Amino acid sequence: MYRDLDIWNAIYALYELITDEENSEKKYQTFFESHPVVFKILGFDTFQSYEKSSGKQIPFDNDRDFRPEPDFLCGNIESCTVTVFELKTPFVKPFIVERTDGNRRKLNADAESYVSQATEYAESILEGSEARSVVKSDLSLPEISSFKIIIVYGLTDGNDMAGVSRLLNNRKIPTTFLCYDLLLEKLVDSYLNTRRKTENRTGLSIVYHLIVDKEQLFPRSFIADHGSPKKNRLSVFIENGHIVYQCIDNDEMVHILKSPIVYDQPIFLRFELANDDNGIYLSLNVNNEERDLRVGSVNLNFNLQLTGFVLGTDISCKFFGRFYMLESYYSAKTMSIEDKLGSYHYFKRKTLGISAGVRFDGKHYLVRDQNGNMSQSNPKYQPKYVNPINSEI
């Protein structure tokens, strides 16, 4: 059984490849090998790579004078179906071209060659008793009843997928094209099917890009604090090697989410809270991994007022934190899946080289003013804007 985290890691990895317009077939081969959950979500019970580095081989076909080298073979144990699973790249020319003779449209030469190659792989295995034995063993199948072909290829945008399906009808072996963006949608749908709805709900999202110093001045050193002392308060602090988000609701009930923290390097923190009628939702994400989660049917009675917001200390201005804040942003709702993927991708790009940030060294802090800006009028408490590479906390 796969975990939500396995699916999420696969979603982000594929999202990043597509967003970065990666067009290396090898990178996509590595993606599938690194995220076997993708095959499970596509409905396969078993799979095997036959890429050269896998160490697996299908016997040489003397009649055809070649060795079948599919990217993957996938199996369904109940139906004993074997699927030739071929990988191409997403950023390609449209699948269909117009015929010069005025007849109906056809697949472009590249697409047609991919179908022909995959078909030849399937026929070679089907007709070779030794090859069939090897494949049955590799896929743990009692027999092979039939073959299918899936070619992971291109993007749906700019392609007439209904027309492609018509052109693939009546092939010797049932064949489909699976576009990379459609694959990403399938992964997202599978992820969301296992979870209570958390997207775009009324509440709060807070994202920090920061570097935390290992040496803190207080047992509980604050990064930020919001609200009133005894209720409707949201605190973010470092305590016992953990980053802690503490929410005290309007009924003075305390809700805590925490995660171990990594010091002296950029970290991505995303905290989400929903206080609508759909039940409690609190989530803490560290470096694109949901480390702590609270969900329930009882609503969260919480009304956060950002007018009591300080950064670098607690609301009493006594317990200061030592860290670099590289960037922060807030939203009055929980994030969509697209926002979550994009926010971490943005963090990775921003921190390829350590960017400058605001240094809080255990005695400086900022206060949110009436205009919604973070400021500090007293020079004694003003943090400095510096480059952490060239500075010591």
**How many CB atoms neighbour CB 181 within 10 A?**
15
Q: Which amino acid is at 319?
A: F
Distances in whole angstroms, Cα of residue 363 to Cα of each of 50, 223, 241, 244, 324: 59, 12, 20, 20, 13
**Looking at residue 355, what is its pLDDT?**
73
What residues have CB less than 8 Å from 365, skipping those under 6 apart?
A: 310, 311, 312, 313, 317, 320, 376, 381, 383
The rounded distance, in Å, linking the Cα atoms of 212 and 209 is 10
> Which residues have a Cβ under 8 Å from the Cβ of 230 and sit 6 or more positions away?
248, 252
383 C-beta neighbours (distance < 10 Å), count = 20
Element (H, E) at 271: strand 267-274
Which single residue is written with the structure tokens 């940030």?
Answer: 357
Q: Tell me: the pLDDT tens digits for 122-140? A: 999 999 999 999 999 999 9
Return the pLDDT at 102.
58
Q: Which CATH number fits domain 4-192: 1.10.287, 3.40.50, 3.40.91, 2.60.120?
A: 3.40.91
Q: Which stretches of the chain score pLDDT less than 70?
A: 1, 100-103, 306-307, 354, 388-393
On the CB side of 278, CA atoms within 13 Å amount to 14
Pick the CATH number of 196-390 from 3.30.70.920, 3.40.50.1370, 2.60.120.200, 2.40.10.220: 2.60.120.200
Can you tell me the distance from the alpha carbon of 384 to that of 393, in angstroms, rounded to the nearest whole number? 11
Q: Sketch the domain layout of the chain as residue ranges.
A: 4-192, 196-390
Q: Could you tell me which of 191, 244, 175 has the C-alpha nearest to residue 2?
A: 191
Check for a shared fold between 4-192 and 196-390. no
Which pLDDT does position 240 carry in this prediction?
Answer: 96
The pLDDT value given to residue 184: 98
Q: How much is the pTM?
A: 0.92
Q: What is the DSSP letter of 66?
A: B
- Which one-letter amino acid corresponds to residue 104? R
Q: What pLDDT does 386 receive?
A: 84
Token pair belonging to 304: 């956060």
